[in-house]
Amino acid sequence: MKRIALYLRVSTSKQDTDNQRRELQAVAARSGWHVVRVYEDAGISGAKGRDERPGLDAMLKAVNAREFDLVATWSVDRLGRSLTDLLSILQHLKDKGVDLFLHQQGLDTSTTAGKAMFQMLGVFAEFERGIIKERVNAGLARARANGTKLGRGNRKDGKTSADEKRWGMSAAAMLLAQPCAALPPVLVAAA
């Protein structure tokens, strides 16, 4: 018998998780699954991270301990609304060998078709990371082309020094920018 955990979430305190719980428990009964534990985040947005969702955090800690074989939830948006957080959760489950059942989407990663879909999600996650990297690099290039100074200054208080105001660089950078002829020659002894 497969050991499962239910994860339930609603976004506002005016909602409740009763419908999700009832439907998922019925699926578990029909499938012959044993519900080991129910994790719930009531009145918490799916856009919040793991650190602000105690039910999700407890569930993922139990995933680490392999307390169950499958996580069942009503819909993918119950796990998260941020694609980055969602992909992180999915990867965590996959790494620990815990399957996922999404009732509304009909996705069960313990089946061959579900595993294929899960792998496609991984491809899209990698694609998204690549797109983000390209956008960041394009933005940095545009900023440099527009003369924007990137990075931090070297003052701990975050203020600009007089040299940086005057020359656009720190004293250390100006020293390094001087021609080599201005530096004394270095004698090297023959061995």
Which residues are identified as catalytic?
11
- For residue 56, the one-letter residue type is L
- Backbone φ and ψ for 60, nearest 5 degrees, come out as -70, -30
User: Where are the extended beta strands (E) located within 43-75?
Assistant: 70-73
- For residue 7, the one-letter residue type is Y
69 burial (CB, 10 Å; 0-12 / 13-18 / 19+) is middle
Helix (H, G, I), strand (E, B) or coil at 32: coil
- Backbone φ and ψ for 97, nearest 5 degrees, come out as 75, 25
Rounded distance, CA 185 to CA 16, Å?
78
